[in-house]
Structure 1
């Protein structure tokens, strides 16, 4: 990824004592978090490569996800293709259930024939471009034998990704009332899929990370289903931010819309600009029926904000000796101390590096390497990781995953050989008498 980087090497202060662990703090230019108002029930903006959250609004509360559910179907389909269980040319026979749903033109659908055969690719394109519900059910049945079994697989998948707050009852995201009694066992007549914005963002991030080829189809503005046959129907992508559509934006190439009365107008979008990819989620941006543009208008605001208001900033350079840091004391070495250096850069998106606020960090040593006096035993080899530099909790620097990159390893800058026998013996004697004195 190509990023504009503003280097601002931290000045660090390290102190050590006989009884307490070593610590360090530092400051750098930082800005008050810019605020952006998004007219939706929930919204989220994430940098794809780092997982850093650039904006969030009510992103932890489960809300209706509607047809954004189908990203899970896409992921599992790609898994099956990758495993060799299906090919794009594999034929799928349409069940009575998939046929019945496909004939409901109050919903998004392509016409399917009961007992008819369609290729996996045809059904996938209908799902990805036109959000076709009957086609989605047909794929789920082809993969797992029944939609309910496929829902079980969806549930296991999201839980494996650490998503716990969710409700999944079907593959389409429709309200159960549209499914002609084909409900997930134990689910209510009006049950509907739900997940927090952060949850559906994880789904999108996993899909893009593991199967980026999804963008080849999600970026198609218009395609004819079964062109040249009596079933031909023009599929205009419900993502109106694609080329030639009502809210065209050159950098947008996905990902999935959704609309129900419960969920309102929802959209998980993605755009790439100058090597940076962003992933956005907008939920409940109007009802989706009287104002189908609002979710795209709000998404455009998010992308403008993400691409123009945040700058990728190097807070700590990689592979540099921390000149202003008190070196780490060395026990039984030819040298009494060893300087510390970074092993990689500590980098984040900051909203505006020109304003000055404090960001603090803590150096946390690997205590297993230190004695009770905070010393490391010689010999010490250059490059040995002796601890890590940790970003303290800071408002405005958050990540989608809790194990995000908010630390960098810190290593010994030089090698320190072990001292000779007489020096080591002298230190042992000294330690013995100090220990004896402390007892009495």
Structure 2
């Protein structure tokens, strides 16, 4: 696709350039990634559409037809009713949203009838996808780190919005303006709670998905992230690499996310580089909103496979200047641990069960943990980009009973 964009700008084209492009397009058409599916298959279809639109002849027509057939099927398959991409990674969602913008751009300028008849569908998908991505943004304009996500890979929301606007897309801003208000993206399973004053919590009540290709899944069920006054405070650990080594496994593990780990086990059995065996199934309660309070709960059965047949239930209660996270773990267990990873720019001091959190701008928040037998602040790492590991700190609380209440105030 990038090669075609470049060729389009050249005043003259050498025949061997086009021969090379045709050879590559033919090779792709014979090696479609049906064995991987998901975003791989989608971008295969996009590439064939670009090649088939740019080149002429029977083979080019067949690539265009094959690419459009893939895209017609995969857009319907891969995008949920709330606009989310079904791999539930904000990074891949943003990447594929840009891909659809490219397709709409191609349709607008090529004026091929096969593309023109799909323009309205592609435009609608972009607008829906933008609404979803806005809800999963932190106030700093960056994505949340759920599943495989990192900065610097996909275009930013700001870039996608600008591109979409040039293409005539008008995505409504559905984010509530009330002081305390929440948006529940029901089909994808995420909740955004807005407190006002650039304070926002993002909650993960999603399923492991898609069920047949969960390659970018982390064992992060019921994790959350929190920004205060435009600054990220609690962060999931991110993704700095792919592959199959121990570090890849650690970054996908429950222990690398803001949730509860029972007996040192993952909530979903992530393995190899892109595999998941037994996975947590999430049950989500109803989102309750009043004038001054938002309340939602969820549970997952990922630990029912353990000897204690454990069920993790987490409830979030949001009020002005306060977020409560209430965890309970049923059944017997040797150890249940809550982790809260802090952004590297955050400074903290601990006194007993109270942790004072100081933001770079001087604002202060306080986290009080009730129901912990031991609370430690340990050194850890955050992975905001591929190839990057940044030192940070983590609050580790060992549950003394079956219930832990974490109260964050600011």
The normalised TM-score by structure 2 is: 0.29
The normalised TM-score by structure 1 is: 0.28
* Structure with larger RCO (C-alpha < 8 A, sep 6+): 1
Larger radius of gyration: 1
